[in-house]
Structures are given as structure tokens and as C-alpha cells.
């Protein structure tokens, strides 16, 4: 029996969905393949000590999970003349710049439905005023949020306090102990604002280490369209192009209307003078670890 060495290959400009096993012979079209294989084997040798007893996945399984769909494209198959649909997919745990175009049949149907709902939404440039303070009423019992989630009694108390201050146009600090759900109280607070008719835009500024948790809790508790604004210049440009603005038939930005409802970003992005975010009239700003 002949042993043939194969390599698990990730192709440039293709998603991890299309990784495959290939021999060196099959990869010779890449003129630099010898150098790439040499570097790969060197890395493997250096890691051998630490990974000798570990069964390691070739890549993070998140990389083949659809996070968001950014755009759709309709093409014609040159051979059959049939219509072919492609979606521009942002993958979980990967930056926007690693988004790839994928055939409809390779994309999660639920994510396609989410995208189509967002595409069907229309820009709303109305500016609703904050309700008067005498409208505020204490919420006596937690509503049922997405996935059947409900607030605990002390979290409901925190939510009521946040809403009371918001109705009274007063900034405030939520200073519970760690682990008591300040993130959840803040997210449900934004959801309650949304129910008054003010649909954003909301801004969350948080340490980089907590951003993934903020995004996860938003999606666990609500259907608020939340976008993480972070990453390289290319990733941020893609966010601006696909996630932030409605455009008219000439492709011009419609001012005062936003595709997103909430943005999560870092202190560094804000302090670095991010013009795109600074130009927005935020209806509510939440700062995590504001003592920084």
C-alpha cells in the first residue's frame, strides 16, 4: 500500500467551507507551494512538543457558521443559462474582510430569511422625542424576552431604575457586583426604549474583551439589529457599506436613517476619532467599565 502525503488546504479568497485535502502534486499550480509547505512543516515541528497528546481541529468550527449575510447577487450560469444566486457571507469569529460570496444552497436558510427581512425594511428618518417623564410607570413583572428569557427580580429593579432615569433625562451609573447581569439589564433597557417607538441608533462602548459577550447577549435576549464596529480599515469600510446606511436608487446615503439599531465598539475606536461614529446623533449611549 502506497502512502501519499496530503495537506488540508484553505484557498485564498474562498471560505473555510471549501477547504479540502490535496497532494503536493495537485497544488503545483501555486508557484510558491514548495515554500508554503516548508513553512507549514516547520511550524508543525515547533508545535509538536505542545500538541503531542492533543486532538486538534484543523480550524475553529465557527468559521463555517454563517454570522450575517451582507448582500445578494443574481448571476446567470454560462453553461446552462439558469439563474444562480450568491450571498456575501460574514462568518462567525472572522472579521468582515474575510467575508466570501457563497451559493444559496451553501447558506443557512434562517440567515437568508433574516437578511431578506432586513432588506424589506424601509428607511425611517422621523425623529421621535423622548416621552415625558410623567409617562413612566414601574414595570411590576418581567416581560418574556426572546428565547423565553425573563429578568430576575433584582434585574427588573435595575431595569426600572434605568428607565426612570431615562424618562427624567438623567445620566446614571449601574454599579452592581460582577456576575449579576448588568449587560442583560442594559440590553433589556434598550429594548424597552425601542418599544416606545425610538428605534435607535444606540451605541455601546466596551472593552474589546467583553464585545463578544455583549453581541451574544443581544442576540440571546432580543431581535435588535446589532453590529460590532471594530477591526481593520477594510473591515470597517465593509461595515459602513453593508451594515450602517440605507441608500437611495442612485446609491447615495439617506441621512438620518440607519440599517442597524445598535452598534458595539471599543474605547480605542471612539478615542481614536472615528468620524463615522462621531457624526451620528445617538439616542442612548451605554459605556461598559466607564470608570476607565
Residue 274 burial class via C-beta count within 10 angstroms: exposed 0-12, middle 13-18, buried 19 and up: middle
CATH number at residue 77: 2.40.50.40
Residue 56 lies in a domain: no
Total domains present in the chain: 3
229 and 165, same structural domain? yes
Q: Is the pLDDT of residue 106 over 60?
A: yes
Which of 201, 182, 180 lies closest to 265, judged by CA? 201
Examine residue 201 and say whether the peptide bond preceding it is cis (omega within 30 degrees of 0): yes
- What tens digit of pLDDT does each residue of 186-229 get? 999 999 999 999 988 999 999 999 999 999 999 999 999 999 99
**pLDDT at residue 51, as a whole number:** 52
**pLDDT at residue 291, as a whole number:** 60
280 and 141, same structural domain? yes
d(CA 261, CA 66): 20
pLDDT band of residue 54 (cuts 50, 70, 90) is very low
Which of 121, 105, 82 lies closest to 260, judged by CA? 121
Q: With contact defined as beta carbons under 8 Å apart, do 87 and 100 qualify?
A: no
The partner residues of 262 in beta bridges, in order of sequence, read 202, 226
145 and 104, same structural domain? no
Residue 195 lies in a domain: yes
pLDDT band of residue 53 (cuts 50, 70, 90) is very low
pLDDT band of residue 47 (cuts 50, 70, 90) is low
70 and 100, same structural domain? yes
Which of 25, 31, 34, 33 lies closest to 5, judged by CA? 25
Residue 127 lies in a domain: no
Q: Which strands sit side by side in the sheet containing 66-76, from one edge to the other?
A: 66-76, 83-91, 100-103
Question: What is the chain's mean pLDDT, rounded?
Answer: 88
pLDDT band of residue 48 (cuts 50, 70, 90) is low
251 and 162, same structural domain? yes
Q: 289 or 92: which carries more pLDDT confidence?
A: 92
Residue 58 lies in a domain: no
Residue 57 lies in a domain: no
273 and 156, same structural domain? yes
218 and 197, same structural domain? yes
| CA atoms within 13 A of residue 143's CA, in its CB half-sphere | 14
274 and 138, same structural domain? yes
Domain C-terminal end among 97, 120, 143: 120
pLDDT band of residue 115 (cuts 50, 70, 90) is very high
% of the chain at pLDDT higher than 90: 60
Percent helix, percent strand, percent coil in the chain, to nearest 5: 40, 20, 40
Based on DSSP, count helices (H) and strands (E) in the chain, helices before strands.
8, 11
**pLDDT at residue 122, as a whole number:** 87
Residue 128 lies in a domain: no
150 and 112, same structural domain? no
3-state secondary structure 145-203: CHHHCCCCHHHHHHHHHHHHHHHCCCCCCCCCCCCCCHHHHHHHHHHHHHHCCCCCCEE
Residue 225 burial class via C-beta count within 10 angstroms: exposed 0-12, middle 13-18, buried 19 and up: buried
Residue 1 lies in a domain: no
173 and 230, same structural domain? yes
Domain that holds residue 37: 6-51
- Report pTM: 0.85
32 and 156, same structural domain? no
103 and 26, same structural domain? no
Residue in the block written with cell 497528546: 53
Q: Is the pLDDT of residue 126 over 80?
A: yes
DSSP for 94-153, please give it: S-GGG-EEEEGGGS-HHHHHHHHHHHH-------PPPPPGGG-----SPPP-GGG----H
Between strands 284-287 and 202-205, the pairing is parallel
CATH number at residue 214: 3.40.50.10810
Phi, psi dihedrals of residue 226, rounded to the nearest 5°: -110, 140
d(CA 19, CA 39): 19
Residue 153 lies in a domain: yes
Domain C-terminal end among 78, 94, 120: 120
Amino acid at each position: 500500500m502506497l502512502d501519499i502525503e496530503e495537506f488540508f488546504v484553505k484557498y485564498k479568497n474562498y471560505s473555510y467551507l471549501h477547504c479540502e485535502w490535496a497532494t503536493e502534486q495537485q497544488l503545483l499550480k501555486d508557484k510558491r507551494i514548495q515554500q508554503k509547505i516548508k513553512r507549514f512543516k516547520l511550524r508543525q515541528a515547533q508545535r509538536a512538543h505542545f500538541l503531542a497528546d492533543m486532538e486538534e481541529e484543523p480550524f475553529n468550527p465557527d468559521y463555517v457558521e454563517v454570522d450575517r449575510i451582507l448582500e445578494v447577487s443574481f448571476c446567470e450560469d454560462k453553461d446552462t443559462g439558469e439563474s444562480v444566486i450568491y450571498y456575501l457571507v460574514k462568518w462567525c469569529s472572522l472579521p468582515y474582510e474575510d467575508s466570501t460570496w457563497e451559493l444559496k444552497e451553501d447558506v443557512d436558510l434562517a440567515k437568508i430569511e433574516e437578511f431578506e427581512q432586513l432588506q424589506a425594511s424601509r428607511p425611517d428618518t422621523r425623529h421621535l422625542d423622548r416621552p415625558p417623564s410623567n409617562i413612566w410607570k414601574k414595570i411590576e413583572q418581567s416581560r418574556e424576552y426572546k428565547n423565553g428569557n425573563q429578568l430576575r427580580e433584582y434585574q427588573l429593579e435595575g431595569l426600572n431604575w434605568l428607565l426612570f432615569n431615562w424618562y427624567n433625562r438623567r445620566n446614571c451609573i449601574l454599579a452592581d457586583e460582577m456576575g449579576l447581569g448588568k449587560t442583560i439589564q442594559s440590553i433589556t433597557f434598550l429594548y424597552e426604549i425601542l418599544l416606545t417607538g425610538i428605534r435607535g441608533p444606540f451605541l455601546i462602548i466596551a472593552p474589546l474583551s467583553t464585545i463578544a459577550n455583549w453581541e451574544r447577549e443581544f442576540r440571546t435576549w432580543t431581535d435588535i439589529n446589532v453590529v460590532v464596529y471594530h477591526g481593520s480599515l477594510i473591515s470597517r469600510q465593509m461595515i459602513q457599506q453593508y451594515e450602517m446606511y440605507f441608500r437611495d436608487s442612485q446609491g447615495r446615503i439617506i441621512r438620518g436613517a440607519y440599517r442597524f439599531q445598535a452598534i458595539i465598539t471599543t474605547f480605542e475606536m471612539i478615542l481614536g476619532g472615528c468620524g463615522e461614529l462621531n457624526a451620528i446623533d445617538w439616542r442612548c449611549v451605554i459605556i461598559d467599565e466607564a470608570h476607565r
